[in-house]
Amino acid sequence: MREDLLELARQARDATFSRPGLALRAVIHECDGTEAERFHAAIFEGVVEPTIRLLREFIMPGVERGEPHKEAAGDYVVDAVPAMRMYRSKMCASEWNDQDLEEMIDQLILPLPRPAGG
C-alpha cells in the first residue's frame, strides 16, 4: 500500500510541474483570497478532485476486503494529500521532494486507514 500511495503522490506532484500545473501554481501563489475564488473551480477540478478520486479508487478495494475501516476512504482522509500539498506549497514554499512525500505517507496517510477493528 505504501509504494502505491507514494507513486500516486509522485504523479500528483509531477502534474504540478506540467505546463498547466505551473500556470495554476502561479495563479495560486499570486492571487489573494478574493481573486483566488474565481479560480476555485479550476483548482478543485484540475488538481484536488483527480487526486481525491484516485485515492478513493486505491483505498476502496482494501475497504471491501475489510483491511482498513470504511472511513479510510472518507472525506478527511482523502483530502489530506491535496490539502498538505497545497498548504506546504503555498505556506512553506515546499517543492515536495521524494523525502517529503515519503514522510507525508508514513507519518500522516498510512496511520489513517487502520485495519477494521484496530
pLDDT tens readout for residues 43-80: 778 777 888 888 888 888 877 887 777 777 788 888 88
Check whether 117 has a pLDDT greater than 60.
no
Rounded to the nearest 5 percent, the helix, strand and coil shares of the chain are 80, 0, 20
Which range, of 10-14, 37-41, 48-52, 95-99, averages the lowest pLDDT?
A: 37-41
Helix (H, G, I), strand (E, B) or coil at 12: helix
